Amino acid sequence: MAKVFDVPADDLISKLSDQLKKDKKINPPEWASYVKTGTHAEKIPQNRDWWYTRCASLVRKVYLHGPIGISDLKSYYGGRKRIGYNLDHHKDAGGAIIRNALQQLEASGYVEKKSKGRSISSEGMKRVDRLATEIFKEISKLNKDLERYA
> DSSP secondary structure string, 5-31?
GGS-HHHHHHHHHHHHHT-TT----GG
Q: Where are the beta strands (DSSP E) in 21-96?
A: 79-81, 89-91
Give the separation between CA 9 and CA 15, rounded to whole angstroms: 10
Domain boundaries, the chain: 4-149
Largest CA distance in the chain: 55
Which pTM value belongs to this model? 0.87
> Is residue 144's pLDDT more than 80?
no
Q: Identify the burial level of 132 via C-beta atoms within 10 angstroms of its C-beta, where 0-12 means exposed, 13-18 middle and 19 or more buried.
A: buried
Mean pLDDT, rounded, of the chain: 88
> Is residue 36's pLDDT more than 90?
no
Which of the four CATH numbers 1.10.10.10, 1.20.90.10, 2.60.120.10, 1.10.10.60 does domain 4-149 have? 1.10.10.10
pLDDT digits (tens, 9 = 90+) for 45-61: 878 889 999 999 999 99
